[in-house]
Structure 1
Amino acid sequence: MNAKPTSTDASQPADDARKPRSDGEQSRLRLLAAAMRLFGEQGFSKTSTREIAQAANANVAAISYYFGDKAGLYQACFSSICAPAESNIAQFSPPHFTLREALQGYYAQLMAPLLAGQDAEVLIKLFYREMLEPTGLWQNEIDINIKPEHAALVQVLCRHLGLAQPDDDVHRLAYAIVGLGIQILIGRDVVNQITPHMLASPEAIAQWSGYLVDFAEALVNAQKLKLQQRKA
């Protein structure tokens, strides 16, 4: 994303040039919101900058000003909704955390998109589209965020299982723990059709996160028992 110029920059769109910086930021946020919705519904290639600008009630030139081009706007959509891996990892990886505290921190960051309310559907659709019609950002997300977060979760599991190094079973356990939460994220439409009250409020989502912690803790304890039986 291009650095934001000052309000006196000559490259600023004419319709924004006389607006306070706060109005300019509102225009930028409207473009992001419109782009996320349209990219999620139609995909990158089928969405035009003119369409985005119309939906955001902004000048097409504002896209160039704030984001450089359509690709820059697409990148900005992901940057605005993806927390850095370090931030997510810090919520569950401290060595002094109990297993339960680590799992609570893990699901807190994993389930965070659901707390976006109506915007949650927009955010999740955007990820769907990138996975189905990859532009390279999904691979980048795997490399920059998902791999480090998986490695951190595996380290946490090794610590609580008393293992010096992870094996395939620990990786399987990590994938299963992640899958408990991912199922809710990608199956949000199904849940809303069958039991809509279970995602209807932050309190409902928090309650579900608590159950995920219970389930995941049981999985870890089951693996710990399996390891003990192997040593017996």
Structure 2
Amino acid sequence: MSEKHIRKPRSDGEQSRERLLGAAMQLFAAQGFNATSTREIALAAGANVAAIAYYFGDKAGLYRAALTDFMPPPEKNIAHFDQPGFTLREALHGYYTQLLAPMMEGDAAQLRLRMWLREVLEPTGIWQNEIDNGIRPEFDALAAVLARHLEVPVDDEVRRLVHAVAALGAHLMISQDIVAAVTPQLLSAPDALQDWIPRLVDYAEAIVTAERTTRQKGAA
């Protein structure tokens, strides 16, 4: 095996940090931020409480890391769908690819989803920060992409269109347990989520086409 294919073993520090993150995700997802103590997390991770302060500062820092460490910066997500040469279909494919990517991480994705739902119900401020610094820039970027393909300015109807396009993927993210219960065959295959992406693109293209038709009728 060539040297470039040999993965370097993680340091003890990296392993300790990952164990703390894994234990924190389990407990925060099950109990929420307020009901979870640093002592519980350290015990579950096989570490001491001082390690939390060393790697994360405090419980709030560990909670923030458990929620956001996996999330790419918004500009990286935007680059998946906002490229000058992209067709509408390519842009939509890139959008759904980055949107559903966190769901393809197995059990960790489910834990993070439960944590985010708890954060919405029991806010600590992280959710509002994510809206302002993550969701809003991606929303505005998709609005600009759709407006460009419709050859119109970004107006409230374009913004309404963005919400509709995003909702197709958000339903899978937020209501995956409902999808699995009602139509388990649509999520049971190993590449099930990958199979959803081109179909979501089809549906989104149809919504954009409907918007274009509505505008043309209005202009006529």
Distance, in Å, in 1 between the alignment partners of 2:70 and 2:28 is 14
Q: By how many angstroms is 1:21 displaced?
A: 6.9
Q: Which runs of 4 or more aligned residues in structure 1 lie more than 6 Å from their structure 2 counterparts after TM superposition?
A: none
Aligned 8 A contact 1:81 1:123 in 2: no
The equivalent of 2:15 in structure 1 is: 26
Question: 1:138 and 2:127 equivalent?
Answer: yes
Report the TM-score, using the length of structure 1 for normalisation.
0.88
Equivalent residue, structure 1, for 2:180: 192
Give the share of equivalent positions with the same residue, in percent: 56
Q: Is 1:104 matched up with 2:93?
A: yes
Q: For 1:105-152, what per-residue CA distance to the aligned partner results, in whole angstroms no more than 9, with x for missing partners?
A: 000011112101122210100110111100000000000000000000
> Which digits, 9 at most, give the CA deviation of each residue in 1:181-219, with x for residues without a partner?
111111111112222232234521111111110000000
Select which of 150, 156, 161 maps to 1:168.
Answer: 156
**Structure 1: 5+ residue runs without aligned partners?**
1-19
Take 2:190 and 2:78, find their aligned partners in 1: how far apart are those partners? 22
User: Are 1:219 and 2:189 counterparts?
Assistant: no
- Cα RMSD of the aligned pairs, angstroms, is 1.3
- Listed as ranges, the matches of 1:36-185 within 5 Å are 36-163=25-152, 165-185=153-173
Q: Greater CA deviation, 143-152 or 21-30?
A: 21-30
Q: How many residues end up aligned between the 2 structures?
A: 212
Q: What runs of 5+ residues in structure 2 fail to find an aligned partner?
A: 1-8
**Residue identity matched to 1:96:** G
